[in-house]
């Protein structure tokens, strides 16, 4: 998905047709099961939420010329970036949003039967039945102000009074957007810390190891397996595709590429027969992943070798 396609999914908020708003909450029960409930909000609150998030969506996805939309499998964690979730392994903790239909007749959240402290996410749907998208906001414990944690005071006529109810705070931040079966990640940290993305990265990296195994290229593949248990390095593996031209090459062509590369030859060691690679340093493992990603390029203009991900010259001292 590119930024133009994403804007097409979100553009319902800028058309002349009426834009409605619906609010649902995800409630977690004692048995860890989650339920979606309809939130009965006042017309005033609904209108304010609609206006806040229309403004936020426009500022973030339409008016920000620096915004980068990348496939999450190829994610470079830039400051101003959002991600299209293109991995076939979907986060278990977000399956509830895939099954969510804002037009279904959900039971209502009841302050008599339900506890506001059990709310784990808020779903705000903008649009109409023909075109809509849902904003997913994760609720952290600090988002809910409980009575026993702080004393909240409000003015009542000429005196200060204590406010005794629990408060749910909603800001304009957006964690995820779900539209037409597509998940857009606006907050990668929330996906990583609260929705099991670290485990997905590791699982995907292990799958890539099995692709590499078919090449019979690396003598001590177990070293690479241990290496990608670190999420930092596992992320590098996500770009390796079974359809990559590198994966289809004869292994000796890859080895000869390393032998003849002015930087790689000193960073990746071969076994005594010269037919397999030995990964004995973290640097060699990182560069090996880069080779399988086809990251190494040569400029026809300057004749300098580059690593394509950062477009940085491979210096002797790295």
List the chain pLDDT tens, one digit each, 318 residues: 999 999 999 999 998 888 999 999 999 888 888 999 999 999 999 999 999 999 999 999 999 988 989 999 887 665 578 999 999 999 999 999 999 999 999 999 988 888 888 899 999 999 999 999 999 999 876 554 455 556 666 566 666 666 666 677 788 999 999 999 999 999 999 999 999 999 999 999 999 999 999 999 999 999 999 999 999 889 888 888 888 888 888 999 999 999 988 889 999 999 999 999 999 999 999 999 988 888 775 544 444 555 555 433 343 334
Q: Where are the beta strands (DSSP E) in the chain?
A: 20-28, 34-38, 68-71, 81-84, 119-128, 131-138, 144-145, 152-156, 159-163, 167-168, 176-179, 182-185, 269-270, 277-278, 296-298, 305-307, 312-313
pLDDT of amino acid 308: 53
How many CB atoms lie under 10 A from the CB of residue 150? 10
Spatial distance between the Cα atoms of 33 and 202, rounded to a whole number of angstroms:
25
How many CB atoms lie under 10 A from the CB of residue 201? 25
Rounded to 10°, the helix 251-260/282-292 angle is 120
Spatial distance between the Cα atoms of 182 and 2, rounded to a whole number of angstroms:
12
Question: Phi-psi region for residue 213, left (φ > 0), alpha (ψ -120 to 50) or beta?
Answer: alpha
Are the C-beta atoms of residues 310 and 296 closer than 8 Å to each other?
A: no
pLDDT of amino acid 299: 43
pLDDT of amino acid 242: 81
Spatial distance between the Cα atoms of 261 and 268, rounded to a whole number of angstroms:
10
Spatial distance between the Cα atoms of 167 and 157, rounded to a whole number of angstroms:
22
Of the CA atoms within 13 Å of residue 297, those in its CB half-sphere come to 13
Q: Which residues sit opposite 152 in a β-bridge?
A: 163
Spatial distance between the Cα atoms of 137 and 302, rounded to a whole number of angstroms:
48
Are the C-beta atoms of residues 258 and 265 closer than 8 Å to each other?
A: yes
Q: Would you give the DSSP letter of residue 17?
A: S
Which residues touch 70 (CB under 8 Å, ≥6 apart)? 76, 81, 82, 83, 84
Dihedral angle computed from the Cα positions of residues 259, 264, 267 and 268, in that order, rounded to the nearest 10 degrees: -50
pLDDT of amino acid 155: 67
Spatial distance between the Cα atoms of 39 and 27, rounded to a whole number of angstroms:
11
């Amino acid at each position: 998905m590119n930024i133009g396609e994403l804007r097409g999914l979100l553009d319902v908020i800028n058309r002349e047709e009426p834009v409605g708003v619906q609010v649902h909450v995800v409630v977690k029960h004692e048995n860890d099961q989650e339920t979606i409930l309809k939130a009965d909000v006042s017309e005033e609150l609904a209108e304010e939420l609609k206006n806040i998030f229309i403004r936020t969506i426009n500022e973030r996805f339409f008016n920000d010329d620096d915004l980068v939309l990348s496939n999450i499998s190829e994610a470079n964690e830039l400051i101003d970036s959002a991600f299209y979730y293109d991995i076939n392994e979907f986060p278990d903790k977000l399956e509830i949003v895939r099954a969510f239909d804002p037009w279904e007749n959900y039971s209502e959240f009841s302050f008599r039967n339900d506890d506001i402290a059990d709310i784990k996410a808020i779903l705000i749907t903008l649009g109409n039945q023909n075109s809509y998208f849902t904003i997913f906001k994760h609720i952290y414990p600090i988002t809910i102000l409980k009575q026993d944690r702080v004393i909240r005071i409000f003015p009542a006529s000429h005196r200060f009074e204590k406010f005794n109810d629990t408060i749910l705070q909603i800001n304009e931040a957006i964690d995820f957007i779900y539209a037409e079966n597509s998940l857009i990640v606006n907050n990668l940290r929330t996906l990583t810390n609260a929705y099991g993305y670290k485990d997905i990265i590791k699982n995907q990296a292990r799958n890539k190891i099995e692709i590499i195994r078919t090449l019979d290229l690396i003598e001590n593949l177990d070293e690479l397996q241990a290496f990608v248990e670190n999420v930092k390095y596992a992320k590098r593996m996500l770009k390796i595709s079974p359809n990559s031209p590198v994966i289809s090459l004869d292994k000796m062509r890859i080895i000869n590429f390393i032998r003849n590369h002015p930087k790689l030859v000193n960073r990746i060691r071969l076994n005594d027969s010269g037919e397999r690679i030995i990964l004995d340093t973290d640097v060699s493992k990182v560069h090996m992943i880069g080779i399988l990603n086809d990251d190494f390029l040569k400029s026809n203009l300057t004749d300098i070798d580059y690593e394509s991900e950062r477009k940085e010259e491979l210096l002797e001292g790295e």
